[in-house]
Chains A and B, each alone.
Chain A
Amino acid sequence: MTGPAHIFDKPNRYIGKPEPRADAARLLQGRGRFVDDEKLPRMVHAAFVRSPHAHAKILSIDTEDARTSTGVIAIYTGADLAEHVTPYVGTLTHMAGLRSAPQHPLAMDVARWQGEPIVMVVATSRALAEDACELVDVDYDELPAAVDSETALDADTPVIHPEFGSNLAWERDVIAGDIDAAFAAPGVHVVEREFRFGRHTGVTLESRGTLCDYDPSEDQLTVYYSGQAPHMMQVIFSKHLGLPEENVRVISNDVGGSFGIKIHTYGDEIATAAAAKLLRRPVKFIADRFESFVTDIHARDHIVKAKMGITGAGTIVGIDFDDLTGIGPFSMYPRTSAIECNQVLNLTGAPYVMENYRAKGRVVFQNKTLMCQYRAVGHPIAMAIADGLLEDAARKIGMDPVALRELNLMADDSYPRTSATGMKLDDLSHKRALRKLTEIMDYQGLRADQTEARKDGIYRGIGFVSMVEVTNPSPMFYGIGGAPIASQDGATLRLDAGGALHVSSSITEQGQGTNAILAQVAAGVFGVDLNRVKVTTGDTATTPYGGGTWASRGAGIGGEAMLLAAQALKDQVLEVAGVMLQTGVEKLDIRDGAVTDLEGNERLPLADLARTVYYRGNELPNDLNPELIATRHYRVTDFPFVFTNGAMAAHVEVDTATGFVKVLHFWAVEDCGRVINPLLVDEQIRGGVVQGIGGALYEECHYSPDGQFMNATMADYMVPMASEMPDITIAHIETPTKTSVLGAKGAGEAGTGGAPAAILNAVNDALSPMGASIWQMPMTPERILTVLDKAAE
């Protein structure tokens, strides 16, 4: 399938143009509508008593003093809510062997991580609810905790769910070719490293929050939800609170960042809905920053032992690795916590031609906050393994890392094909992307600068990554395994009497510009001015049914649905126009809000057409039944995923006296197929890169040996701030995916997926004259000093 040229080339097209977002005006004037901005009559506020222990038996809960505290409306324990909420289990059938235990919104008998909600207090203000929380007396019997993933499977480590007999949640082996033979072959060099990827978390600036309202007269639950997947949450609230699906309305207005944090089932949010139902009034819960740190899903937390074999001439013969991932005490519902590891197994080395591959993944339970899918799921690990080893191998055989990539990257004309792990690949451009990258960064110039600077004792490094990003997932991602997660999305366009378009879509807006690109597609394909399109998203009551926004699917899937719907509406409108103008439909077009001839001469303004249809139907033939509304849905069919690819480079300077790393500049060349709006795509890539830099250099959830989260404040958990971030140069290759007319692949996660590997490689390039290298993220000053010391010994 390729797009008809007129969609993209006609005079009033918007696809591909850097149109500013209409939503910006609201947000810039303080008129956004975030969950905490909503205020309903009789609204009350929730706060939670949370487990201070990583693992403890709950012996008793005394709420007597709290109940008489000022402003308290209700107090619920786990047992109280268990009568009204059915438990949930984070497993999916296609993740063979994955196991997890039933979860309740509030812990029942045992608390399994520090921060797990134990008791809910509802009061007339959040402050009063917190006051009452301090008066709740929970008697705990502290249990030994399984904290460290490396010892989680040891015989003397406490088993978190005794019924499973061990802390193993899931494991999988992927084998292709004969890796042992390949590594043993004459002339093959093997590099081996142990990678450590720290735990980090999303730190959405708007914390998680919900406002739930229950109307008993209609058995109707309305949930204002700061999240990414309204329809998924509709099913979850319905299923576990025992409400008919149609009686649950989930509304996502403005969402202050999500990045995968806000697409899961959190006990405190479910409890809030249950409380609203029980109290028959609106209950609001807004997580504070401490609660966010200890309850928002965490990410990464991998220890990987990996090897790459390479010939003296630079041909990669294979990769062999073992990935150990800690996921907290449960697999998150409903997406599960095994996907991250699975992505590592599937994606490592995916840009490269490779015949031999062996990967083992083990996912283990531990008494820490739950880990689950966060922006660029598994990608930073997969890319750092392959490209980290690749540059290590390049140093070993004395080859330039760009030349080594050139030698091993899949050729741009070799698709469709599969990766070593069997992933179906098409429409990728690794080599063009790498060439463009080295051009825009002036690679040779940087190398010359590096040599000069070293003479003055200044250690700069250049690091690369060639990467893929999973986007536009098909039903094979979740739906096949039984999750209530739609892989298709819908779009509706309605031509109103005034000639404007009202469009709605099941994908959602978290700031990435979903609404803007939907409007661009609708306006451009249908043929009206952009400012005559009004967009509605994020409401299960008013939008078509669909998956929402995750896995970089909004533009590719939601955009395609909008394109198809716009084309359909256009056909319907032209049919009416043909009758009104007594002209063949093939001689008509719609441009700039009017029906025109093919040369663009106006024949009939859309407003005139619509008014005739809506107000003066008597002027139309009786057998004409105008439909000025159209809905279309779209899903990816031929591929499990549509891959975006990219090449990125980092330029860093390492202060060898302090271990501080300064990122001097970053470049990213991305091929996300057709770019709908470069202004939006570019800053999304930059934001992704900065998140990746965060993981590489700053961000880490530190736990004590007994499972206490040690740095749960914004002062101690370091997110990237403006002062230290580099300017980031973006360039595009556009290879439209053949799976859709629009040709758009996802763009939102590549920066986060690729940047850590590029930074790692750049740091190691800088450290190479000292014979030092680092394989642990974040690469803190202390860790860099440590490897420098070790090399100097």
Chain B
Amino acid sequence: MSRSIDIKLRVNGENVSATVPARLNLVDFLREELCLTGSHVGCEHGVCGACTLTVDGDTVRGCLMLAAQANGKEITTIEGLADSGQSTALQAAFTKRNALQCGFCTPGMLASALGYVNAGGAADRDAIRQHISGNYCRCTGYQSIVDAICDVIEETRT
């Protein structure tokens, strides 16, 4: 029983050991302790999707999971997606379609988009809109993001 917890996890393919305050959430841990500042904090109550990242292959809200709960897990952040090449096609499509402006929602949006593409989602605009509807973007009209995700699906399946 302790207010700080020892954790061991893998982050972007690297083993990490740390002692963290019990109350520290995963996204703050990644940003503050590991300096992986690509994951953003937008609302801290699980609505905006800016902190969306991947835990054991599933997208999760980084603000609704404690670092302590990540013990033994495999975490992939936007930096990991980029460095490993997993998000290369989406990056290219987002660039071509101008599917980002300020870029603050982008890491979470990419993680959600990748979840959709990897799950075999169709190039169906309504389905894509529904899938990314947990990720708030104040700058674009969402349309370019939908276009970009469609592009990636169509390119990889033809």
Task: Judge if A722 is at the interface, Cβ distance under 8 Å.
Answer: yes
Within 8 A of A (CB), among B104-149: 104-107, 110, 125-126, 128-130, 132-146
Do B139 and A29 have beta carbons less than 8 Å apart?
no
Do A722 and B129 have beta carbons less than 8 Å apart?
yes
Do A719 and B136 have beta carbons less than 8 Å apart?
yes
Given A30-B36, A713-B45, also A728-B143 (CB < 8 A): yes
Neighbouring B residues of A783 by C-beta, 8 Å = none
Contact mask B34-69 → A, CB, 8 Å, 1/0?
A: 011111111111011010000000000000000000
Do B138 and A259 have beta carbons less than 8 Å apart?
yes
| B67 to A: closest C-beta gap in Å | 13
Neighbouring B residues of A680 by C-beta, 8 Å = 98
Contact mask B7-27 → A, CB, 8 Å, 1/0?
A: 000000000000001011000
Neighbouring A residues of B50 by C-beta, 8 Å = 205
Do B104 and A256 have beta carbons less than 8 Å apart?
yes
Given A256-B102, A289-B43, also A21-B95 (CB < 8 A): yes
Task: Judge if A701 is at the interface, Cβ distance under 8 Å.
Answer: no
Given A30-B79, A205-B137, A725-B129, also A289-B44 (CB < 8 A): yes
Task: Judge if B29 is at the interface, Cβ distance under 8 Å.
Answer: no
| A226 to B: closest C-beta gap in Å | 10
Neighbouring A residues of B47 by C-beta, 8 Å = 713-715
Cβ contact of B38, chosen from A31, A682, A683, A724, cutoff 8 A: A31
Do B104 and A37 have beta carbons less than 8 Å apart?
no
Task: Judge if A608 is at the interface, Cβ distance under 8 Å.
Answer: no
Task: Judge if A288 is at the interface, Cβ distance under 8 Å.
Answer: yes
Neighbouring B residues of A685 by C-beta, 8 Å = 141
Q: How far is the CA of A257 from the CA of B103 in the complex (A)?
A: 9
Task: Judge if B71 is at the interface, Cβ distance under 8 Å.
Answer: no
| A73 to B: closest C-beta gap in Å | 18
Neighbouring A residues of B102 by C-beta, 8 Å = 27, 204-206, 254-257, 510-511
Task: Judge if A690 is at the interface, Cβ distance under 8 Å.
Answer: yes
Contact mask A476-509 → B, CB, 8 Å, 1/0?
A: 0000000000000000000000000000000000
Do B142 and A206 have beta carbons less than 8 Å apart?
no
Do B42 and A29 have beta carbons less than 8 Å apart?
no
| B64 to A: closest C-beta gap in Å | 13
Cβ contact of B98, chosen from A20, A207, A714, cutoff 8 A: A20
Neighbouring A residues of B128 by C-beta, 8 Å = 722
B contact residues, total (Cβ < 8 Å): 61
Do A714 and B132 have beta carbons less than 8 Å apart?
no
Task: Judge if A322 is at the interface, Cβ distance under 8 Å.
Answer: no
Task: Judge if A395 is at the interface, Cβ distance under 8 Å.
Answer: no
Neighbouring A residues of B136 by C-beta, 8 Å = 203, 205, 714, 719, 721
Contact mask A25-62 → B, CB, 8 Å, 1/0?
A: 11111111010110100000000000000000000000
Do A24 and B40 have beta carbons less than 8 Å apart?
no
Within 8 A of B (CB), among A126-146: 127
- Cβ-closest chain A residue relative to B133: A723
Q: How far is the CA of A20 from the CA of B94 in the complex (A)?
A: 9
Task: Judge if A171 is at the interface, Cβ distance under 8 Å.
Answer: no
Task: Judge if B78 is at the interface, Cβ distance under 8 Å.
Answer: yes
Q: How far is the CA of A689 from the CA of B100 in the complex (A)?
A: 16
Q: Which of B36, B45, B82, B98 has the most CB of A within 10 A?
A: B98
Within 8 A of B (CB), among A107-159: 127
Do B110 and A204 have beta carbons less than 8 Å apart?
no
| B37 to A: closest C-beta gap in Å | 4
Within 8 A of A (CB), among B75-95: 77-79, 82, 87, 90-91, 94-95
Cβ contact of B141, chosen from A21, A30, A728, cutoff 8 A: A728
Cβ contact of B77, chosen from A30, A37, A719, cutoff 8 A: A30
A contact residues, total (Cβ < 8 Å): 59
Neighbouring B residues of A25 by C-beta, 8 Å = 91, 95
Q: Which of A29, A202, A207, A680 has the most CB of B within 10 A?
A: A29
Task: Judge if A23 is at the interface, Cβ distance under 8 Å.
Answer: yes
Task: Judge if A512 is at the interface, Cβ distance under 8 Å.
Answer: yes
Do A288 and B44 have beta carbons less than 8 Å apart?
yes
Do B142 and A722 have beta carbons less than 8 Å apart?
yes
Task: Judge if A79 is at the interface, Cβ distance under 8 Å.
Answer: no
- Cβ-closest chain B residue relative to A679: B98
Do A204 and B78 have beta carbons less than 8 Å apart?
no
| A470 to B: closest C-beta gap in Å | 21
Do A511 and B103 have beta carbons less than 8 Å apart?
yes
| A632 to B: closest C-beta gap in Å | 27
Q: How far is the CA of A29 from the CA of B38 in the complex (A)?
A: 7
Task: Judge if B73 is at the interface, Cβ distance under 8 Å.
Answer: no
Cβ contact of B106, chosen from A28, A286, A725, A751, cutoff 8 A: A28
Task: Judge if A687 is at the interface, Cβ distance under 8 Å.
Answer: yes
Task: Judge if A695 is at the interface, Cβ distance under 8 Å.
Answer: no
Cβ contact of A37, chosen from B24, B37, B78, cutoff 8 A: B37
Do B141 and A28 have beta carbons less than 8 Å apart?
no
Neighbouring A residues of B90 by C-beta, 8 Å = 28
- Cβ-closest chain A residue relative to B77: A30
Do A28 and B100 have beta carbons less than 8 Å apart?
yes
| B35 to A: closest C-beta gap in Å | 7
Do A687 and B141 have beta carbons less than 8 Å apart?
yes
Given A205-B48, A727-B125, also A257-B132 (CB < 8 A): no
Q: How far is the CA of A511 from the CA of B102 in the complex (A)?
A: 4
Do A683 and B140 have beta carbons less than 8 Å apart?
yes
| B19 to A: closest C-beta gap in Å | 15
Q: How far is the CA of A650 from the CA of B101 in the complex (A)?
A: 24
Cβ contact of A715, chosen from B45, B106, B130, B146, cutoff 8 A: B45
Given A288-B44, A714-B136, A725-B141, also A34-B104 (CB < 8 A): yes
Cβ contact of B79, chosen from A29, A254, A256, A719, cutoff 8 A: A29
| B49 to A: closest C-beta gap in Å | 9
Task: Judge if A684 is at the interface, Cβ distance under 8 Å.
Answer: yes
Do B143 and A686 have beta carbons less than 8 Å apart?
yes
| A664 to B: closest C-beta gap in Å | 12
Given A30-B36, A714-B47, also A686-B129 (CB < 8 A): no
Do B135 and A722 have beta carbons less than 8 Å apart?
yes
Q: How far is the CA of A34 from the CA of B41 in the complex (A)?
A: 11
Q: How far is the CA of A29 from the CA of B88 in the complex (A)?
A: 9
Q: Which of A202, A691, A727 has the most CB of B within 10 A?
A: A727
- Cβ-closest chain B residue relative to A29: B82
Q: Which of B87, B105, B134, B137 has the most CB of A within 10 A?
A: B137
| A646 to B: closest C-beta gap in Å | 15
Do A686 and B140 have beta carbons less than 8 Å apart?
yes
- Cβ-closest chain B residue relative to A289: B43
A-B contact pairs, 21 of them (CB 8 A): A20-B95, A23-B103, A24-B94, A27-B103, A30-B38, A30-B39, A32-B38, A36-B37, A127-B21, A202-B138, A203-B138, A204-B102, A205-B105, A205-B136, A254-B102, A256-B40, A257-B138, A510-B101, A511-B101, A683-B144, A723-B133
**Other contacts beyond A24-B95, A28-B94, A289-B42: 4, CB < 8 A:** A32-B103, A205-B102, A254-B104, A722-B142
